[in-house]
């Protein structure tokens, strides 16, 4: 399923979802609930939309055929706790998430029973590699709820039908009215609730979908929405700070080394066509204008594209590292620096490098190093979502493209203060020290793998324009933690004035 770029962003974005619980918290007929899943899939296939199925982990584990059926239909599967206890209490929150991860590591998202969660829920989700968390929430757009974890606010589901507070016509009308008032809408149903009156409630579900499509809404899964939000947040940030970012990064030792290594790779090629994916304004590749036949700088931040176009011999294009819109097998040198750490699905970058690179072409990718101490992942969007990599992870990723070499850059995090120290850094890279990790990895390889058909849909950034009302607000728990640290320092200073350092304000 490929999403075509739009002339202008849609006015609304919708995620349809199903909570698949069967009889774990009700007296529903399991076979009837399974039939409802098949009916949902048929409706969604007929309307050609992608939705998310939040499945209880126990069902995920015990009925793999049901999961396979959902995934084969091209729909997303996420977790909806492991047991879905009827007496859902905080003591279950984190443990249920861990049990889910033991079942499968593919699902990117999680929804809590009854939308009841706490900070430990979010922390455990983040530490277990989830992309999103969907709960009933008064906010009208996605936001970073904890570090890089995206909260997808749920507007409503079919519970009013179960409690008979609404009939199907009222339920559909409530959705229609809300669609005109909200920019993002997550709307769902349950297998067992639909099974109570399948004829009427399946018709109502189809009507809700038709309403969204007639309205011109973008219909996307929770994962697609969360990924689009993250990409858009980074694009906005780097567009806003493009001038300062480029000025500051040019002085860094690692930038100099990346530029040198890229030029060395380019000099081995005869008038190469260069693709700089996530170009950062062309800061690393503008130097190749005397060597290259063509330099394409692809970036999703308009400010960075404008900077790229200011360089001679460079063509800046609005696009993404995972969807450059460059022709198949058209490039001799593919560069992707300071980008992969922001991708939730790095394999999609490998797909794009394979697609646009000629067989035998060179690829150059940088990775921040995973140190023993975990990063804070707080602050601006790029800092929240940045990942760090081990050599083993990089080599496994590179196997998707072709063989190469892994090189460590800058073993001392401090910037060199003079030319002599800079030369010492270079010698250190030639003979890496034992038991000390660099700050960055560089992988230089040769494209050997043939392009494979892409199984995922790519939503372009112009599909929907987020307003980011909460983007600049800090993580509230991070603020509380900071206040606690400050109070502790003050107390320590007052109690032990002669044994503490000066207070940092």
Give the CA angle between residues 355, 131, 214 to the nearest 5°. Answer: 80
Spell out the residues 6+ positions from residue 485 whose beta carbon is closer than 8 angstroms to its own: none
267 and 317 in a single domain? The answer is: yes
Confidence of residue 267 (pLDDT cuts 50, 70, 90): very high
For Cα atoms 153, 156, 160, give the angle at the middle one, nearest 5 degrees.
Answer: 155
Q: Residue written as tokens 């009208």? A: 140
- Of residues 127 and 449, the one with the higher pLDDT is 127
> What pLDDT does 377 receive?
94
Region 293-297 average pLDDT:
98
Tell me how far the alpha carbon of residue 467 is from its chain's centroid: 18
271 and 314 in a single domain? The answer is yes
Please, which pLDDT band fits residue 479 given cuts at 50, 70 and 90?
Answer: low
The answer on pLDDT for 98 being more than 60 is yes
- Residues 44, 150, single domain; the answer is yes
Lowest mean pLDDT among 20-34, 41-55, 101-115, 490-504: 490-504
pLDDT of residue 477: 61
The rounded distance, in Å, linking the Cα atoms of 196 and 33 is 9
244 and 207 in one domain?
no
Residue 144: give its domain's CATH number.
3.20.20.370
Q: What's the gap between Cα 421 and its chain centre? A: 38
Q: Do residues 387 and 413 share a domain?
A: yes
Q: Which of 93, 148, 145, 143 is closest to 115 using CA atoms?
A: 93
pLDDT at 1: 36
> In this structure, what CATH number is given to the domain that contains residue 335?
3.40.50.150
Residue 501 has pLDDT above 70, yes or no: no
Write down the residue that tokens 């350092």 correspond to. 501
pLDDT digits (tens, 9 = 90+) for 194-223: 999 999 999 999 999 999 999 999 999 999
Quote the mean pLDDT of the chain: 92
Q: Is the dihedral of CA 229, 50, 452, 405 positive or negative?
A: positive
C-alpha to C-alpha distance for 345 and 342, rounded to whole angstroms:
9
Pairing of strands 357-368, 440-446: antiparallel
At residue 9 the predicted structure's pLDDT band, cuts being 50, 70 and 90, is confident
Instruction: Specify whether 155 is located in the same domain as 243.
Output: no
3 state SS of 135: strand
* Residue 5 predicted with pLDDT over 90: no
Domain containing residue 109: 13-220
Same domain for 316 and 355? yes
Same domain, 294 and 174: no
Number of domains making up the chain? 2
Helix (H, G, I), strand (E, B) or coil at 394: helix
What are the pLDDT digits (tens) for 303-352? 999 999 999 999 999 999 999 999 999 999 999 999 999 999 999 999 99
pLDDT band for 189, please (50, 70, 90 cuts).
Answer: very high
Does some domain include residue 479?
Answer: no
Residue 353 confidence (pLDDT) above 70: yes
Pairing of strands 404-409, 440-446: antiparallel
């Amino acid at each position: 399923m490929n999403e075509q770029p739009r002339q202008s962003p849609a006015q609304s974005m919708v995620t349809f979802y199903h909570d698949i619980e069967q009889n774990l918290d009700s007296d529903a007929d399991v076979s009837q609930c399974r039939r409802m899943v098949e009916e949902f899939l048929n409706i969604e296939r007929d309307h050609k939309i992608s939705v998310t199925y939040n499945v209880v982990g126990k069902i995920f584990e015990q009925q793999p055929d049901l999961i396979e059926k959902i995934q084969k239909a091209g729909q997303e599967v996420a977790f909806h706790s492991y047991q879905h206890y009827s007496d859902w209490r905080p003591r279950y929150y984190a443990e249920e998430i861990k049990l889910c991860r033991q079942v499968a590591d593919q699902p990117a998202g999680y929804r809590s029973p009854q939308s009841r969660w706490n900070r430990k829920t979010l922390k455990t989700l983040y530490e277990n590699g989830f992309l999103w968390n969907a709960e009933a929430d008064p906010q009208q757009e996605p936001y970073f709820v904890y570090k890089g974890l995206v909260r997808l606010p749920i507007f409503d589901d079919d519970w009013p039908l179960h409690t008979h507070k609404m009939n199907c016509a009222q339920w559909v009308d409530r959705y229609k009215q809300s669609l005109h008032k909200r920019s993002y809408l997550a709307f769902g149903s349950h297998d067992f609730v639909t099974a109570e009156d399948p004829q009427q409630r399946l018709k109502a579900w189809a009507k809700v979908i038709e309403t969204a499509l007639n309205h011109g809404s973008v219909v996307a899964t929770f994962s697609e929405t969360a990924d689009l939000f993250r990409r858009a947040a980074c694009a906005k940030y780097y567009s806003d700070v493009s001038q300062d970012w480029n000025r500051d990064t040019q002085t860094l030792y690692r930038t100099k080394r990346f530029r040198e290594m890229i030029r060395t790779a380019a000099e081995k090629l005869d008038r190469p066509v260069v693709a700089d994916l996530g170009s950062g304004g062309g800061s690393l590749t503008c130097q190749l204008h005397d060597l290259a036949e063509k330099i394409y700088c692809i970036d999703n931040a308009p400010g960075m594209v404008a900077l790229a176009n200011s360089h001679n011999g460079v063509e800046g294009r609005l696009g993404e590292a995972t969807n450059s819109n460059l022709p198949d097998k058209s490039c001799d040198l593919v560069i992707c620096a300071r980008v992969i750490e922001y991708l939730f699905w790095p394999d999609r970058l490998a797909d794009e490098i394979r697609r646009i690179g000629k067989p035998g072409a060179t690829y150059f990718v940088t990775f921040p190093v995973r140190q023993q101490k975990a990063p804070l992942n707080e602050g601006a969007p790029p800092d929240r979502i940045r990942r760090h990599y081990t050599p083993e992870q990089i080599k496994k990723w590179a196997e998707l493209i072709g063989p190469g070499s892994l090189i460590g850059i800058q073993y001392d995090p401090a910037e060199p203060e003079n030319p002599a120290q800079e030369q010492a850094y270079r010698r250190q890279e030639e003979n890496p020290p034992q038991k000390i990790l660099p700050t960055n990895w560089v992988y230089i390889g040769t494209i050997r793998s043939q392009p494979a058909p892409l199984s995922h849909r790519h939503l372009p950034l112009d599909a929907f324009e987020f307003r980011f009302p909460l983007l600049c607000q800090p993580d509230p728990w991070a603020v509380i933690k900071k206040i606690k640290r400050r109070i502790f320092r003050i107390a320590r200073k007052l109690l032990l004035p002669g044994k503490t350092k000066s207070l940092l304000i």
